[in-house]
Amino acid sequence: MAIKDLIYGSDVDMVAEQELFRKASEIKTLLETERGRKALSGIFTKDDKFLELFLGESTRTDLTFTNAVEELGGRLHPRLWKFSSMAKGEPMSSLTHFCEGVRYQGLIMRHDGEEAEALMREALATRNKKNYQIRFINAGMGNKEHPLQKLKDTFTIQELFSNELLHGPQTNNPLRILFCGDVAYSRTIHSLLAVGGIAQYGAKIWMTSPEDNQLPDSIRQALLKHRVEFSELHVPLKDAIESAQPHILYLSRFQFNLRKEWGGRSQEEKNKYEAWYANMVGVTQEVLNIAPPFMKILHPLPQGPELPKRVEDNSRAAYNQQQGNGVPIAMALLIMMFAPNTDLHLLHQDKHVVTVHARTDGGTFSMPSEIGNISRLCICQGGCGNHTGQCTAVESKISGTWGFVSENDFQSITGKGKVFCPQCRPH
Ligand code: CP
């Protein structure tokens, strides 16, 4: 199941999401061993190039994608918006032409401004009009959506409460989730609440936020249209927990960076507001005392005073598990988008196997003219029944086909991805 772009949470339907989670679980296991990591690093080649363009601060999302691409053997070029020509007013269409011209496979973009969604749409329209290959990943789009975070959050919830999430509606014990904080501007909450979010599993939803901090009406209307059970409250967190008895408490910091009206305000004003906010929707000792013992706390991070540091020692804190899931989730996403025929099961076998997406009509490559175009070598040392000794099949990156080179030439090719060729691959 392939995913074309990831702009909204709904771009990955429930079936694709579950497939992505299975892959992420396998990747987590593979990442634990040197052998597994080596095998994963053969899935991409250095021709699998990504541009990462960020306007807005980031630790997790930026480094998650950097690590994910690197672990798969590809290349990621990071560029801050302010050091790109976008800061000089270059249109998104022009950037899209450039990306296609230099053969970026994907553009990973974060933009904290109100125009973020329009820019993404412009890029998509340019790609579609010109029939380009470039694909797009939203890494945080204004106050709209953050679909990678949604995948990471739902995967973590499934690890913590798989029965309630997957079978809850049938067993009359659906997952109960309480969103707390800046429901007006938190794009991670929006992605979990939007169509294709947590409600598709039959979860029961509560939210609590300050009175002047309302859920965007478009999301409210979509929840109503899809007959999702939800309650919007404006009460202190402890009262909301007493009502909801949630499995998951999902917190959000106050999103100063996404709110224009806070742009010119002093740090003192911000601190004062944050202290009030933390008092209403923060995890105090009183909140921990009355919370059900099974409840787990998630937070997309970075945290503000609503999530004091001491909470990380509480058994309910699950946000470090949540952020740790970022890299395997991003790797699973990249595989589904850019190497959809990869069979991760084979990577667990004794031989380090990567399923390649190449045609098998190869002939003999003439060396050395083809040498620069060779992307992968067959690693079979014999025993497949097709040859004795080292297989000399190589894959050309231009045509994506497999052919053969002389043994001498084969020995001279170094530093290429090593996989089984289609003839030698065990089935
Ligand atoms: N959750 C998240 O998007 O974190 P960063 O802002 O650090 O990327």
| Residue 52: exposure state from Cβ atoms within 10 A (0-12, 13-18, ≥19) | buried
Please provide the DSSP assignment of 137-153 as one string. Answer: EEEEETTTB-HHHHHHH
Please provide the DSSP assignment of 5-71 as one string. Answer: -BSSGGGS-HHHHHHHHHHHHHHHHHHTSHHHHHHHTTSS-TT-EEEEEEES--SHHHHHHHHHHHH
Residue ranges, the chain, pLDDT below 50: 350-353, 355, 357-360
Token representation of residue 96: 């899209």
Q: Do domains 9-146+326-344 and 148-319 have the same CATH topology?
A: yes
Q: Domain map of the chain by residue range?
A: 9-146+326-344, 148-319, 356-427
Spatial distance between the Cα atoms of 246 and 198, rounded to a whole number of angstroms: 14
Spatial distance between the Cα atoms of 60 and 66, rounded to a whole number of angstroms: 10
- What's the gap in Å between 302 CA and the centre of ligand 1? 6
Residue-level pLDDT at 405: 80
- Sequence-distant (6+) residues with CB within 8 A of 375 are 45, 47, 395, 396, 397, 416, 417
Amino acid at 142: G
Residue-level pLDDT at 427: 58
Please provide the DSSP assignment of 97-122 as one string. Answer: HHHHHTT-SEEEEEE-STTHHHHHHH
Q: Report which of 105, 115, 116 is spatially closest to residue 5, judged by C-alpha positions.
A: 105
Residue-level pLDDT at 190: 97
Mutational test site, ligand 1, from 58, 62, 138, max ligand atoms within 8 Å of CB: 58
Q: Report which of 24, 260, 53, 77 is spatially closest to residue 140, judged by C-alpha positions.
A: 53
Residue-level pLDDT at 414: 67
- Sequence-distant (6+) residues with CB within 8 A of 10 are 194, 195, 196
Mutational test site, ligand 1, from 53, 57, 60, 329, max ligand atoms within 8 Å of CB: 60
Task: Name the strand (E) or helix (H) holding 343.
Answer: none
- Sequence-distant (6+) residues with CB within 8 A of 354 are 39, 42, 43, 342, 346, 347, 417, 419, 420
Mutational test site, ligand 1, from 61, 62, 143, 319, max ligand atoms within 8 Å of CB: 61
What is the maximal distance between C-alpha atoms in the chain? 75
Q: Are 285 and 237 in contact (CB under 8 A)?
A: no
SS3 content of the chain, % helix, strand, coil (to 5): 45, 15, 40
Please provide the DSSP assignment of 382-427 as one string. Answer: S-SSS-SSS--EEEETTT-BEEE--HHHHHH--S-EEE--TTT---
- What's the gap in Å between 376 CA and the centre of ligand 1? 35
Nearest CA to ligand 1 atom 5: 58
The percent of residues above 90 in pLDDT, for the chain, comes to: 71
Kindly give the number of the ligand 1 atom that is closest to the alpha carbon of 139: 3
Q: Report which of 365, 316, 359, 357 is spatially closest to residue 335, judged by C-alpha positions.
A: 357
Spatial distance between the Cα atoms of 381 and 35, rounded to a whole number of angstroms: 17
Residue-level pLDDT at 396: 76
Kindly give the number of the ligand 1 atom that is closest to the alpha carbon of 59: 7
> Hey, is 199 helix, strand or coil?
helix
Spatial distance between the Cα atoms of 71 and 79, rounded to a whole number of angstroms: 20
Nearest CA to ligand 1 atom 1: 300
HSE of 201 in the Cβ direction (CA atoms, 13 Å)? 28
Spatial distance between the Cα atoms of 164 and 291, rounded to a whole number of angstroms: 18
Please state which CATH class domain 148-319 belongs to.
Answer: alpha beta
Q: Which residues line ligand 1 (CB under 6 A)?
A: 58-61, 140, 146, 149, 300-302
Q: Count of residues for the chain?
A: 427
- Sequence-distant (6+) residues with CB within 8 A of 57 are 257
Residue-level pLDDT at 346: 67
Superfamily of domain 9-146+326-344: Aspartate/ornithine carbamoyltransferase (3.40.50.1370)
- Sequence-distant (6+) residues with CB within 8 A of 4 are 11, 135, 337
